[in-house]
Amino acid sequence: MRLGVLDQSPISEGSNGADALRNTLDLARLAEDLGYERYWVAEHHRTPMLACASPEVMIAAIGSITRRIRIGSGGVMLPHYSPLKVAETFSILSALYPERVDLGLGRAPGSDHATAFALQRDRRQPAPDDFPEQLGELLGYLENKMPARHPFARLSALPGRPYTPDVWLLGSSPQSALWAADSGLPYVFADFINPDGASIAAIYRDRFNPSETLKAPKLIVAGWAICAETDEDAQRIASSARMTRALLNRGQLIPVPPIEKALGFLSERGPNADSVARPRRAIVGSPATVKRGIEELAQLYGAEEVMIVTITYDHQARRRSYELIAEAFGR
C-alpha cells in the first residue's frame, strides 16, 4: 500500500507559526527518508492552530530539500485565486521539480467569511460561486487546450513547459466527487473531515468519465492517525488534538495544547467532550493497531493510497508516529 503525508503545519501552544513551518520542512525530510509516496501541505488562513497560508511557497521550500518524494498542495483553495495565476505558479514549480509536483485543488475557503472576503482583490461584492468554471479554465491552461474562442485562449503558454503538475481534486462531499468524475481527475477524499465517504467514493468511481490524462478512476483517502509504542501512549498523545476538536466544535480556535492541559480539559468534560458535532474517524494506537486501521480505511474506500494527517503537541511525537507507521508497513 502507498502511504503519503498531509501536513497542516500545526502550531503548538508556546510556539509560533515560524516554528511550525520549520517543523514542516523537518518532517518532509523524514517522510522522504521513510519512503512515503508524497508530501502535501494544506492551506489555512488566520488560525492560531495551523500555519501554512501559502502552500505554493512551502512546496518550493520542500522541493529544495528533498529529491524523490512527490510534493504538492492539499490543497490550493481555488475560489480565492485567478486560475491563470495558479497555473503559472504550479507550472514553475513543475519546471523546478520535474515529475514530482501535485496540484491538489479544493473549493472550501480554508478560513472564516471575513478572511475569505479579505483575500479577494475586488471587494465591491462577494466572489461568484463558479468553481466548475474556474476548474475548467485552469485545466485549459495546464493542458494547453483552451477553446479557441475563449477570451484567454492565447494565454495558455505557461512558463514551465514542457512540465506540468498532476492535478487532483480534493473534497468531502458528493458534489466534489461529481466534479472529479466529470472532469476525469484523480480524487482525494478527506475522511478526517467526513467519515461517511465510502458511498461518495463509489459515486466517483461509478460516474468517472475517462480523460486524456486519466483513463480509470484514481482515489486517495486522507485519514487522521496517531501512532505510538502502545495504545495507551497513543491515546494520551492524541488528547491534544481531541481538545482542539472539542473547542473547534464550539467555534473556538486555539494552538495545539500540551498533553497534561488537554487531559485535564477532557477529564472535566467527560468521555464525550469532543463529540458535539459529527464524530470524526481517528486511527490511534500502537503500530499494529494503526496498521490495521489504515488497511481497513483503504479497503473501505477502495483507495490505492492513504494520506495520513497527524497533529500532536510535541513535534518529536509527530515524527515518531510517522516512523512507526512506516515501520509497520515495512518501509
Percent of the chain whose pLDDT exceeds 70: 95
- Residue 14 pLDDT > 50, yes or no? yes
Q: How far apart are CA 324 and CA 331, in angstroms?
A: 10
Residue 132 belongs to some domain of the structure: yes
The domain tally of the chain equals 1
Residue 18 belongs to some domain of the structure: yes
Residue 171's pLDDT is: 96
Please report where in the chains the cell 479577494 appears, as a residue. Answer: 120
Residue 255 belongs to some domain of the structure: no
CATH number where 220 lies = 3.20.20.30
Domain span at 165: 2-242+281-328
Between 110 and 48, name the one with better pLDDT: 48
Residue 118's pLDDT is: 81
Residue 129's pLDDT is: 84
Residue 121's pLDDT is: 77
Q: Classify burial at 65, counting beta carbons within 10 Å of its beta carbon; exposed 0-12, middle 13-18, buried 19 or more.
A: exposed
Using 50, 70 and 90 to split pLDDT, how confident is the model at 277? very low
Chain segment 208-261, per-residue pLDDT in tens: 999 999 999 999 999 999 999 999 999 999 999 999 999 988 889 999 999 999
Identify whether the C-beta of residue 40 lies closer than 8 Å to the C-beta of residue 90: no
Residue 179's pLDDT is: 96
Closest CA to 78 of 41, 106, 97: 106
- Residue 281 pLDDT > 60, yes or no? yes
- Residue 279 pLDDT > 70, yes or no? no
Residue 70 belongs to some domain of the structure: yes
Q: Classify burial at 188, counting beta carbons within 10 Å of its beta carbon; exposed 0-12, middle 13-18, buried 19 or more.
A: buried
Residue 120 belongs to some domain of the structure: yes
Residue 303 belongs to some domain of the structure: yes
Residue 110's pLDDT is: 62
pTM value is: 0.93
Chain segment 66-111, per-residue pLDDT in tens: 999 999 999 999 999 999 999 999 999 999 999 999 999 999 876 6
- Residue 275 pLDDT > 60, yes or no? no
Residue 116's pLDDT is: 79
The top-scoring range by mean pLDDT among 114-123, 140-149, 275-284, 315-324 is: 315-324
Return phi, psi of residue 219, to 5°: -130, 135
Residue 173 belongs to some domain of the structure: yes
Residue 270 belongs to some domain of the structure: no
Residue 329's pLDDT is: 97
